[in-house]
Amino acid sequence: MTVSSNRQVTLDYDVIVVGGGMVGLALTAKLAQLDLRVAVIDPKPVDLEWENGTVDSRVSAITRASQRLFQSIEAWQLIDDHDKSAYQRMFVWDGESSSGKIEFDANLIAEPNLGHIIENRVLRRALFQSIERERHIDWLCPEKCQAVDYQDNYAELTLASGKRMKASLLVAADGAFSWLRKASDIGQEQNAYGHKAIVCTVKTEKSHLQTAWQRFDHHGPLAFLPLRDSSLCSIVWSVDESFAEELLSLERSAFAKRLTQTFESTLGQVEVQSTPVAFPLFERTADRMAQHRLALIGDAAHTIHPLAGQGVNLGFSDALALAKAIDVSLKKGADIGLKHRLRPFERARKSETKAMQLAMQGFKRLFEKDIPAVQMARSYGLAVTDKHPVLKQKLIRKAMGL
């Protein structure tokens, strides 16, 4: 990366977003409301249709705060009601204790639900459709970046196709292995959780009752997330890497049996509907989320353990905070790409991300211990919390972003 002096030049765009995933598209939609010229670069086209009856194995738990963001950019209305799986309750229990459990109910805070489980492909399509009609938004796909150069008054990207583009601000929204972050000489701290997350779609004998279920034991958390069909769930089973390999080596029927046993037959017999796949889990934190002419959002800036389902919601919050910081600069007639104009965004997002990362570390360490004294303490903590409505209300509102 180089930064050098230059004379005033004509810019192609105000902002170039590298990464057209869910978070990058959410930011682009917010920037469209500011009448900015924006380009989005991504190597993977958006799936606009798929075979009936199929379910994406990757889903997201969308909080109320993220829902409001989607509504503000008119993307929520583009998601069919049958693709929004609202859940009214969340039931969490310690699989190694008979008393350690806690239940959250939307009625406790007078809300219609606690959130929605939505397939990632559905979310990305809706976000893409929300910017399709914007004439000042350019979608460059499939396309890859090849080089980046930072000048005093602009940043320039060279694409694999040979095209060169200038903008006041670049945004890295290109995922955990962000090319733009690396090319911009921003390091990151990475710590392996020692877990792999196994995901797939399953059919259950009993209705999921519009409830998100999560069971903990020393192997890790197992979540059943309710989908639109009352007998379909998306599972996320986070376990240590060696156990994950053992599970993945099983035949589908044997895996289903193991899954049913681990979940204590809570929803009856389980049938596996899609091939289980696994990916390693890491906590990653970029050394900084902003510098001259550059901001980082989403997984390009941070990743966390999925046990609380907050990863993509943190990214959506990044997008909203960055859009607000840009709006403030525009109203003051200031250069949106200057480092000091991006500092408020960076400070706010780093503090919230760090708090969430620490919480996930604490949960993981608490539940992976199979020491009797620790098991007793955590079970007691869950049971006590379950009996305190006010504390539960606070926890629910925090999780929902309210």
Rounded to an integer, the average pLDDT of 123-139 is 94
Least confident of 47-56, 169-178, 193-202, 369-378: 369-378
In which band, very low, low, confident or very high, does the pLDDT at 4 lie, cut at 50, 70 and 90?
very low
Residue 104: what pLDDT? 87
Residue 7: what pLDDT? 43
Higher pLDDT, 154 or 307: 154
User: Do the beta carbons of residue 366 and residue 359 sit within 8 Å?
Assistant: no
- When computed from its CA atoms, the radius of gyration of the chain, rounded to whole angstroms, is 22
Output the CA angle 341-347-350, nearest 5 degrees. 135
Least confident of 8-12, 78-82, 140-144, 347-351: 8-12
Type of residue found at 179: W
Q: 402 has which bridge partners? A: none
Helix/strand/coil for 310? coil
CA distance 285 to 303: 7
Task: Write down the mean pLDDT value for the chain.
Answer: 89
Contacts of 381 (CB under 8 A, 6+ apart): 100
Indicate whether 118 pLDDT > 90. yes
What stretches of 332-371 show up as alpha helix (H) in DSSP? 339-368
- Token code pair at residue 25: 């598209």
Rounded to an integer, the average pLDDT of 112-138 is 94
Contacts of 51 (CB under 8 A, 6+ apart): none
Contacts of 102 (CB under 8 A, 6+ apart): 91, 92, 93, 382, 383, 385, 386, 392
Indicate whether 184 pLDDT > 50. yes
- pLDDT tens-digit profile of 355-400? 877 777 666 665 565 555 555 666 656 666 667 677 767 777 877 7
Type of residue found at 98: S
Residue 375: what pLDDT? 58
Rounded to an integer, the average pLDDT of 205-211 is 96
| Residue 6 CB burial class (10 angstroms; 0-12, 13-18, ≥19) | exposed
User: What pTM does this model have?
Assistant: 0.90
CA distance 170 to 159: 14
Cis check: omega of the bond before 142, within 30 degrees of 0: yes
Helix axes 252-262, 241-248, angle to 10 degrees: 130
Indicate whether 313 pLDDT > 80. yes
In which band, very low, low, confident or very high, does the pLDDT at 126 lie, cut at 50, 70 and 90?
very high
Higher pLDDT, 127 or 217: 127
Q: 233 has which bridge partners? A: 202, 226
- pLDDT tens-digit profile of 160-173? 999 999 999 999 99
Rounded to an integer, the average pLDDT of 141-164 is 95
Domains of the chain, CATH where assigned:
3-400 (3.50.50.60)
In which band, very low, low, confident or very high, does the pLDDT at 22 lie, cut at 50, 70 and 90?
very high
Q: 117 has which bridge partners? A: 61, 85
Indicate whether 280 pLDDT > 50. yes
Residue 364: what pLDDT? 60
CA distance 131 to 144: 20
**Other Cβ atoms within 10 Å of 105 Cβ, number:** 15
Half-sphere exposure of 166 (CA within 13 A, CB side): 11
Rounded to an integer, the average pLDDT of 277-304 is 95
Higher pLDDT, 179 or 216: 179
Q: What percent of the chain has pLDDT over 90?
A: 70
User: Do the beta carbons of residue 139 and residue 130 sit within 8 Å?
Assistant: no
Least confident of 76-80, 269-273, 301-305: 301-305
Indicate whether 343 pLDDT > 90. yes
Indicate whether 202 pLDDT > 50. yes
